[in-house]
Chain A
Amino acid sequence: MTKEKEKTFEEKLKELENIVNELESGEIDLDSSIEKYTKAMKLVKECDEKLKNVEEQVSKIVTENGTLENFEVE
Chain B
Amino acid sequence: MNDKYLSVGAITRYLKSKFDNDDNLKKVYLKGEISNIKFHSTGHIYFSIKDETSKINAIMFSSNTKKLLFKPVDGSKVLVTGRISVYEATGNYQIYVEDMIEDGIGNLYIAFEKLKLKLSKEGLFDKKYKKPIPKIPNKIGVVTAKTGAAIKDIISTIKRRFPICEVILFPSLVQGDGAKDDIVKNIKLAQNYDLDVLIVGRGGGSIEDLWPFNEESVARAIFDSKIPIISAVGHEIDFTIADYVADMRAPTPTGAAEMAVPNISDLINYINNLKIRLNESMKKKINYLNLYLDSIKASYTIKNPLIMYENKKQKLDILLDNLNKSLIKKYNNYKHRYEIIKNSYVLNNPKLMYKDTVNKFVNLVQKLELVNPLNVLKRGYSLTYQDNKLLSNVTNIKINSNLLIKMYDGEIEATVNNITKNK
Contact = CB atoms under 8 A, between A and B. Distances in A.
Interface stretch (B64-72, B130-138, B328-336, B344-352): B130-138
A16 B166 CA distance: 24
B189 to A, nearest CB: 7
Contacts of A74: 147
Interface residues of B, number: 38
Nearest to B139: A57
A67 B93 CA distance: 67
B163 interface: yes
Interface residues of A, number: 37
Interface string A11-50: 0010011011001101000100100010011001001101
B287 to A, nearest CB: 11
Contacts of B156: 73
B271 A44 contact: yes
Contact of B152 (A9, A55, A73): A73
Contact of B271 (A10, A13, A33, A62): A13
Nearest to A47: B271
B168 A13 contact: no
Interface in B157-203: 159, 163-171, 189, 193-194
A16 B274 contact: yes
A35 to B, nearest CB: 12
B267 A62 contact: no
Interface in B116-145: 134-136, 138
B313 interface: no
A8 B139 CA distance: 12
- Which DSSP category, helix, strand, loop or mixed, fits chain A's interface? helix
B168 to A, nearest CB: 5
Nearest to B193: A62
B274 A20 contact: yes
Contacts of A54: 164
Nearest to A60: B168
Interface in B77-101: none
10 contacts: A1-B194, A9-B136, A20-B277, A20-B278, A41-B275, A51-B268, A55-B164, A59-B168, A60-B166, A61-B146
Given A48-B268, A57-B167, 7 more contacts: A13-B135, A20-B278, A26-B285, A26-B288, A41-B275, A44-B275, A58-B166
Interface of B: 134-136, 138, 146-147, 151-152, 155-156, 159, 163-171, 189, 193-194, 264, 267-268, 271, 274-275, 277-278, 281-282, 284-286, 288-289
